[in-house]
Structure formats: C-alpha cells, structure tokens
Amino acid sequence: MDATRIIAIRHGETAWNVDTRIQGHLDIPLNDTGRWQARRVGAALAGEELSAIYASDLGRAHQTAQAVADRIGLPVMADVGLRERAFGTFEGRTFAEIEADWPDQALLWRKRDPAFEPAGGESLLRFRERIVGTLNRLAARHSGGQIVLVGHGGVMDVLYRAATGQELQAPRTWALGNAAINRLLWTPEALTLVGWADTAHLDDGAALDEISA
C-alpha cells in the first residue's frame, strides 16, 4: 500500500478559545478571527492536489474545512471520529472554574493521567484509540493520495504524539495553534512527522495555542 500524505489542521479561533472555556463536544462556531484564519488556510492550500477533505462534524471544524473546500472544489466529508475529546462535566467551564470546583480532578487532568475521565467524558487512552483509528481508516481509503483532516487541538496533539512516539503523559512542548498547517506521512506501518505548526499564512494575525478545543 502506498503512503498517504496528511494535511492536519486545527479549526480557527472561537470565542471560547479566547475565554479559555472548554468546548469538547459542544458546537461552538468560529468567531471573526477564526473565519479570517479559515479563509487564509483555504488560500494557503489552494494549489494543493487533494484526494479528499474530512472534518469533525462540529461546526468550528466544518467551517474551517469549508474554506479549503471552496478553493479546491471538493466537498467536506464530516466524520464524528475527528471530534475533540469529550470532556463531560468540564465542558462549558473555564480552566479557572474547573480548578476551583474540582481541584482533585483538575490535578489528574493537568498531570495528563491517561486513565482519567471527567464525568461523562473520555480518558486520554480512549481518545487516542479513537483518533488513531480514524486516521488509519481515512488514510487507508486514499492510499497514494493526499487528504486534509480538520479537527481540534486535542486531535492535533494525539497526531503529533503518534508520529513522534511521545507518551500520552509527556508534557507538551509543541504548538497547537488555531488554523496552523501540519503535515504527516501515513503508511500501514507508521505515521511520520513531515512539518508542524506552519503559520506563515497567518503572519499578520494571531493564532492561540490551547489544547482544549
């Protein structure tokens, strides 16, 4: 099976990104900055040869993917497997509110305990299994081609760790900016990092780096 080239993109900015409010599976739209970022991503990828464009079914990711689709002339195919990690009772709350209301759970979250699940949410272990499984399924479908995957901060984090061998609990030292362009190479045997956190198309704007969206 031939390799599949992956362009992975975190959605553009939302008002809740700015507020450091956990979105998870809540469907929060892009703000004005996020819509501008999405258009810039679309322009940056206008010359790419793509086999398909996939996005999380949540609006902030789908809106971002649509800006690419408008330039390329392909449809956006929604895939629930690309959703952000489910944060259950944490969703809708700010980092500070979580620390104040559930200090013990907040500590497990901050330590990246792989087995910790907020009530009604996903553990990092289950989340990684879902994202890697989705990647393998979609990449295998387009062997020899190039696809775009538009997801969320947590999705990008899992992909980076999968490509570099970083453990789930390892502290993050890599950027996960809104609307950054990340490139990977997939084969059935391995996922390889090609380029990460390209924000040249956003040079005259800011891209927040935050993993909870």
Residue range 192-211, pLDDT digits in tens: 999 999 999 999 765 555 54
The confidence score (pLDDT) of residue 181 equals: 98
Q: In angstroms, rounded to a whole number, what is the distance separating the alpha carbons of residues 162 and 5?
A: 15
C-beta separation of 61 from 150 below 8 A: yes
Q: Is 142 a catalytic residue?
A: no
Strands 4-10 and 181-186: antiparallel
Annotated catalytic residue, options 11, 62, 142, 201: 11
Cα 10 from Cα 13, distance rounded (Å): 9
Residue 211, pLDDT score: 45
Strands 52-55 and 76-78, by their bridges, are parallel
- Helix boundaries (H) for the chain: 15-18, 32-44, 59-72, 95-101, 103-110, 124-141, 153-164
Would residue 11 show up in a list of annotated catalytic residues for this protein? yes
pLDDT at 162: 98
Q: Decide: 45 and 71 in contact? Cβ < 8 Å.
A: yes
Distance CA(28)–CA(38), nearest Å, equals: 15
Starting at the edge strand found earlier in the chain, the sheet holding 52-55 runs: 76-78, 52-55, 146-151, 4-10, 181-186, 191-198
Catalytic residue among 84, 91, 117, 122: 84
pLDDT at 25 over 50: yes
8 Å CB contact between 156 and 10:
yes
Task: Tell me the whole-structure pTM to 2 decimals.
Answer: 0.94
Which tens digits make up the pLDDT trace of 26-69?
999 999 999 999 999 999 999 999 999 999 999 999 999 999 99
- Which amino acid is present at 211? I
